[in-house]
Structure formats: structure tokens, C-alpha cells
Amino acid sequence: MGKFTGVLLASDFDNTIVDTASSFRGGGDMPAPSARTLEALDYFMENGGAFTVATGRALASFQRLVDGVPMNVPAVLCNGAALYDFRTGEYLETNMLDREACRRAQVMLDAHPAVAVEAYHIGNVIHAVHPNDITRHHEHITHVCVTEAPSLLAVPVPLGKLMFEGEHGELETIRDWFAAQGWAGEYELIFSDPTLLEMTALGANKGAMVLRLAERLGIERAHIYCAGDESNDLSMLAVAAEGFAPANCAPAVRESGATIVSDAAHDALADIIAILDRRYQ
């Protein structure tokens, strides 16, 4: 037992725990979490807190980072499409895309040949159709090579998510087209970056999966805290007793009413834990 017993803290990874934006733009290596952040996380968990990462990354691209990010409960992957226990190496819950989702998405790829898509299979394989410069930058950041496929119809299912990669205007066209077909109500379509449009099954979002994790842990909603920087984090910021955001967050996150702390390059997560330390005596 400790002062944080019964408290859940869920944080996005990229540009919240670490600053990966500069690496994405400049092609450099992704930084590791700072010593101050790691010390704060150890303190939080040693005093009874439950900490998890809630990331848009799939298993393939987050697995290599796990040893450097201490967690003591299962992680939310693929923007909430999966809950994965790294201690046992198993999925606890999933909400996946099927073959029909691939067929519909391929129509858009045929109409927008400059747009790429990464397809994240539950079996820890990432396929890419029409890979472009954004795909290659993403490979560099994640250190996970994609397997090129001629079409989404050739990609095995089920899929945790599809990630369209291209110019923002084209991605907005794809999002709006899904809505025009009457399909927007069947999927979650949200930007995790201006050049990345993520598609998951309806209900597969970070907020929903954080709540399911809290239920598994027996943690009340009044003691759930979440942190994130992009639009794909809004769902979990909304379900939290208090949502936090680094100063580098997207305008939509800032406008959501999240509590702003320092930026990802200056220990945002450590600042959040300091706030919780004062709150729980």
C-alpha cells in the first residue's frame, strides 16, 4: 500500500513521454526517457500507483521500447484497439478491423496513389501499401521494417489499425469520404499527426480501453489520470478525472481543457507526477 494505491496514470508515448517529433522531422535517433522521468515513474509505482502507456503504436513498434519505459500494468496499443500484457506476452482484449474495412480503404488508396497506408496485424507484422517518404521516416523512428503489399486485399486480418500517410489535405479528403459513404459511424478516424490519419474499429480508442483497464484493476474513474499531446489522445483525456498535456500539444488538445505542463523534451510526465504527489497525501 502507498499514497498512490488505487490511482491509474495512462500516458501517450510519442511527444508526451519523449520528444520524437524532432527525430521524425530531422531523421535523428529517438531520445530515451530522461532520468528525471524514470525516477518519477519509479516513485509513482513504488508508492502503489498503476502506470501504463496508451500509444498509437502497435506491438511491433512498441515492443522494442518496453524495457526503457517502466510499466506495472498492461499497455494500451493501436490507439485502443488492444490491451496487451507484456509480462505474459498476451493480448487481454482486442477490437479489430476486418476484411471489409480493408476493401473500403483500398478504394481510397486507388484514388490517392500518393498516399501510403500501414496495416498493423495482430500477429506483430506491419504491411505497407504505396509506401512513401513518410512511411520510410516512420520506419526510421520505430526501427521496424514494413512488409510491402500490393493491396490491402492481400494483407492478412484481423488488423489493429490502418494508418494513412500523406499530405494533410489528402488525408482530410479520405476522412471526409468515409463520412460521405455513411461509414464514419463504423470506424474511429482520427489524426495522430497532420500527416497521419489513423483508422480503427468503432469503439477502439484510447479512452475506451483505459476505462476497461481501470475496470480490470478495480480503479475508480475519479482516480484515473491521462496525458497526451494529439487528437488521438482526446478520448482518454475526456474520461480522466484530470487530463494533462505537454506544452507541445496540438491546438485541439490545448482547447480541450487539459492541464498544460512542460513540453515532452522537458520532463512533462515528471511534472504530472509531481502534481499528483501534492494531491495524494
Q: Tell me the angle at which helices 99-111 and 168-180 cross, rounded to the nearest 10 degrees.
A: 130
- Structurally, the chain folds into a number of domains equal to 2
Q: What is the pTM of this model?
A: 0.92
Do the domain assignments include residue 3? no
pLDDT of residue 27: 59
- Contact by Cβ (8 Å): 199, 187: yes
Which residues on adjacent β-strands are paired with residue 8?
A: 50, 224
User: Which of 143, 170, 201 marks a domain boundary?
Assistant: 201
Same domain, 197 and 273: no
**Segments of the chain scoring below 70 in pLDDT:** 23-28
Q: What is the pLDDT of residues 175-230, one digit of tens each?
A: 999 999 988 889 999 998 899 999 999 999 999 999 999 999 999 999 999 999 99
Q: What CATH number did the domain enclosing 247 receive?
A: 3.40.50.1000
**Cis peptide upstream of residue 113 (ω within 30 degrees of 0):** no
Same domain, 118 and 129: yes
User: Can you give the residue range of the structural domain that contains 141?
Assistant: 99-201
Do the domain assignments include residue 73? yes
